[in-house]
Chains A and B, each alone.
With several copies, the nearest count.
Chain A
Amino acid sequence: MIDKRVKNAEEAVQDITSGSTLLMGGFGLSGIPENCIAALEKTDIKDLTVVSNNAGVDDFGIGLLLQKKKVKKMISSYVGENAEFERQLLSGELEVDLIPQGTLAERVRAAGAGIPAFFTPAGVGTEVAEGKETREIEGKTYLLESWLRGDFSCVKAWKGDYAGNLIFKGTARNFNPMMAAAGKICIAEVEELVPVGELDPNQIHTPGIYVQRIFQGVNYEKRIEQRTITQTS
């Protein structure tokens, strides 16, 4: 067994340097690496390029890194409601690269899978296509998109074992598996860290080969953005 355990988030992120490209799991605030974000917030790192489907909210998630001005560039599909984000963008402090969500997922998946480029229909005829190679294949037009790799990736799983095998829960899986595989160093934080042999080998979502460091996170807040409820009558 290759033991991937590190003590905590601080140890896990300690060699992330300014200027790095960081891939982050999560959709909205669901399945985000809360502990890694908190640890990064405390460092002096800056000028990060952060690849994440969303950019958090003002006071949670990636929003915390934006508040501390650690992010030079966001690569996302939807940046949502985030006043500080908007301020930095309008003032020119922050660059943003907006990518169709499926293209983002596939570019990151391609990076982990060693596919440097692929054709996809999303964005054909739109400003997303500007400057990109297009090709007609079997009567339909496609854009050539390239892989999107990271120096580090930070992902959050439900359960994980010492060898870095991960299982996600519910819709908190989202971008986490692809981000894990596409980071040169993948840091996984989990709600429950178990010894090897406790997870069903047939039911692992992310094989440990993609994960370089794993630790059990603490104090998960799991904030909800839209608390929609069915009233019991």
Chain B
Amino acid sequence: MLSKNQIAQRIAKEVKNRQYINLGIGIPTLVANYIPEGLDVVLQSENGLLGIGPFPTEDKVDPDLINAGKQTITLTRDSVLFSSAESFAMIRGGHVDLTILGAMEVSENGDIANWKIPGKMVKGMGGAMDLVASAENIIVAMQHCSRSGSSKLLKECTLPITGISCVKKIVTDLAFLELHPEGGFILKERAPGVSVEEIKSKTEGKLIIEGNIPEMEF
């Protein structure tokens, strides 16, 4: 089973050179730490920034520089600042090449649920609905099962959905999967030490297994 950092690390291998990337809160934020050296990529923060730098040192903390998770950050040499309308123009207009975000559930046709749990206080969808409705290339970081052990890779989402038919790839603690254009989770890689049988038993939605499924390499 992968740790959160390992999920992030495996996702980072999907990053391509010259991509503009939006990283969601949580595991996706950790992806930034594993982007291979030599790749020129730019991170977008939907509150109005391209070029997210590392957290500041104590003396460089600036309340006017935060990311979408409201964490204090720094600029990079190639940073650009802009308004929220411009930021979502970039997202909606398809200028952001890759979106990585967390999910509570994904269905076999690529629907994603990650904003609302009935019965719990709803905090809002933030920018997630815009991101999933607009991005061509969406990778989800999530746990394969809930704490009670039920699968989160489903035939159909049970929670209110955030967007339809949009997820392209998923990295869970157990596996790396791709969404089949006509539905189904294509098992591409197993987490080290995790068997195909285990993944099968923990995936409620249609799982497509073709040939030998390799273990992930880091």
Chains A, B in direct contact (C-beta < 8 Å):
yes
Interface pair A207/B80, CB less than 8 Å apart: yes
Of B18, B73, B130, which contacts A102 at CB under 8 A? B130
Do the beta carbons of B55 and A228 come within 8 Å of each other? yes
User: Which of B121-129, B143-151, B168-176 is the interface stretch?
Assistant: B121-129
Please provide the chain A residues from 119 to 147 with a CB less than 8 Å away from any CB of chain B in the complex: 120-128
By a CB distance below 8 angstroms, the chain A residues around B95 are: 112, 181, 209-210
Is A202 in contact with B78, judged by CB distance below 8 angstroms?
A: no
Interface size for A (C-beta < 8 A) is: 76
As a 0/1 sequence over residues 20 to 55 of chain B, the CB contacts with chain A under 8 angstroms (1 = contact) are 100000000000000000001110111111110011
Q: B57 touching A181 by the CB < 8 A rule?
A: no
Contact status of A226 and B124, CB under 8 A, knowing A105-B84, A209-B50: no
Across the interface, do A225 and B70 meet the contact criterion of CB distance under 8 Å?
Answer: yes
The bracket for how many chain B residues form the interface is: 35 or more
Query: What would 29 A/B residue contacts be, using CB atoms closer than 8 Å?
Result: A2-B41, A3-B40, A30-B66, A76-B124, A78-B124, A79-B123, A80-B123, A89-B121, A101-B46, A102-B127, A106-B92, A122-B130, A125-B161, A125-B164, A126-B162, A161-B78, A163-B42, A165-B80, A169-B64, A170-B62, A173-B83, A181-B89, A196-B77, A201-B80, A207-B82, A208-B78, A209-B42, A224-B61, A224-B72
3 residue pairs, one from A and one from B, having the closest CB atoms? A114-B92, A102-B88, A102-B130
Residues of chain A at the chain B interface (Cβ within 8 Å): 1-3, 27-31, 53, 76-80, 86, 89-90, 98, 100-103, 105-106, 108-109, 111-115, 120-128, 158, 161, 163, 165, 169-178, 181, 196-197, 201-202, 204-205, 207-210, 222-232
